[in-house]
Structure 1
Amino acid sequence: MGFVYNGINSKNMKIKAKLTRWQASPALRNSYEVVPGKAGVADFGCDSSERIITISCNVYPQKSFADLVSVLDSIAEWLNPMNGLKQLVLEDIPDRYFYARLTEQVDCERLLRTAGAFELKFICPDPHAYALIDEQFTISSVGAHEIKRLTGNADSEPVYQLKGIISSSSSTYISITTNGEELRVFGALAADEVLVIDSGLVTAKITDANGNTLRNGLAGLDELNFPILHKGENEITVSVAGATFSELKIMAKSRWR
């Protein structure tokens, strides 16, 4: 097995890599509270914590110890955690990626004079894996629509791209209801502009046709009610009041728990 980090394959860095363990699900953050006079604890649910991915690596035998150190220097530059989170793809699971960085020092054990072994421990603050090839949906008319997410095993935080014409009047809007939760969009929005609503980043912006940001879009939302898509069937209803609806593109941002 190999892996790709920040677009570079581990094989190109002269190392052989394999997964030695796998978190079937990330660690949990449990919320308990002791209630005086009551046995046990009150359970207020749980949430996912960070994910840890551990990869065992071997450096191919080099011509000299100096060459081995040179390989390790290149690896240290490649995986420098000071550069922040980067995309990590494991070749054993090629349909998804994680956002990860190193979380511990890397100690290389010399197996031979010119070869060595070490472990890489990556932390993923967001424990989800995301689809490399994702589902996209397009809605081009008002009314009720059903879309079906097939990828992943968890609710997703999609990106909506809305096109239409909305004046600056407070009585003019486009309403998008996702699984019973309404997001009402007020103006102004011109025909050549796109309102981009990102549930994962909890933000909105208005761009031109080329994707260049023109202004903040949060002021045009009636409430900060960002949509969530379930695995399987989802119902999306589009309605308008004094506005013109052109198109709604949905990037599912499908993910695995």
Structure 2
Amino acid sequence: MIGFKYRGKHCSEFGVTLLSYTVHSPELRESEEEVSGLPGTIDYGTEWGKRGIELRIDITPTSDAFKLQQSKILNWLKPTLPAGLLVFDELPDRFFYAKFTGRLGTEQFGYYGTFEFSMKCTDPFVYGPEQILEQTITGNPESIFVVSAGTEPAYPVIRLQNAGINMINGFSLTIISEVE
């Protein structure tokens, strides 16, 4: 069964089956200004906005009473909480920071069946597992290559630790990157 995990709980724990989902491209925020007397516009740049995710689910009866099952699902999706990790079974090594948006109220919950709802990601990026590279530097100079497996260029976080008792003087670090 294809499903999803949200806030550390799999949808199957609530009698929810994922029928389909669509991950939309992030919205764009374009900053521009029209100035009277000048042709065209002044472009101040473009930034990523939020990303929407549409889910279509099927709710099947569980051993719980319907009202209790309904309450558990609504509490799991609670939109007043901060964004939680959303992981689809098809992409177990990628996750979104998402939160429920729109409606899935009691009027839509009148019976068991198929429902559609939305989630929003105010952080538009898809994340993968943290990659840790440990390497001992023995030469001078020495190069270490760190490659991001993501689709969005990103700078690495570098932490240096001296495991010896000798002081390291005149140390410099240079990051040569193709990040635009």
Aligned position for 1:89: 87
Aligned position for 1:105: 103
Map Cα deviations across residues 107-126 of structure 1 (whole Å, 9 max, x no partner): 3646xx85133223111111
Match of 1:140 among 128, 136, 142: 136
Q: Is the contact between residue 149 and residue 230 of structure 1 (CA under 8 Å) also seen in structure 2?
A: no
Does residue 121 of structure 2 align to residue 124 of structure 1? Answer: yes
Q: Is the contact between residue 107 and residue 118 of structure 1 (CA under 8 Å) also seen in structure 2?
A: no
Q: Aligned to 2:22, what secondary structure does the other structure show?
A: coil
> Sequence identity of aligned pairs in percent?
26
Distance 1:135 1:22, change over 3 A: same
Q: Aligned to 1:147, what secondary structure does the other structure show?
A: coil
Aligned position for 2:22: 21
Give 1:19 deviation, angstroms: 3.1
Map Cα deviations across residues 4-30 of structure 1 (whole Å, 9 max, x no partner): 01111101110111334331x200011
Q: Aligned to 2:68, what secondary structure does the other structure show?
A: helix
Map Cα deviations across residues 46-65 of structure 1 (whole Å, 9 max, x no partner): 010011111111111458xx
What is the alpha-carbon distance in structure 2 between the residues aligned to residue 68 and residue 173 of structure 1?
Answer: 68
Give 1:178 deviation, angstroms: 1.4
Q: TM-score, normalised by structure 1?
A: 0.58
Q: TM-score, normalised by structure 2?
A: 0.79
What is the alpha-carbon distance in structure 1 between the residues aligned to residue 158 and residue 85 of structure 2?
Answer: 23
Gaps of 5+ in 2: 164-168
Give 1:150 deviation, angstroms: 5.1
What is the alpha-carbon distance in structure 1 between the residues aligned to residue 19 and residue 48 of structure 2?
Answer: 25
Gaps of 5+ in 1: 166-171, 181-228, 232-257
Map Cα deviations across residues 157-206 of structure 1 (whole Å, 9 max, x no partner): 533222139xxxxxx664322127xxxxxxxxxxxxxxxxxxxxxxxxxx
Map Cα deviations across residues 39-95 of structure 1 (whole Å, 9 max, x no partner): 2212222010011111111111458xx822221111112122323121110122222
Distance 1:150 1:156, change over 3 A: closer
Deviates more, 1:32-41 or 1:142-151: 142-151
CA RMSD of aligned residues (A): 2.8
What is the alpha-carbon distance in structure 2 between the residues aligned to residue 26 and residue 155 of structure 1?
Answer: 16
State the aligned residue count: 171
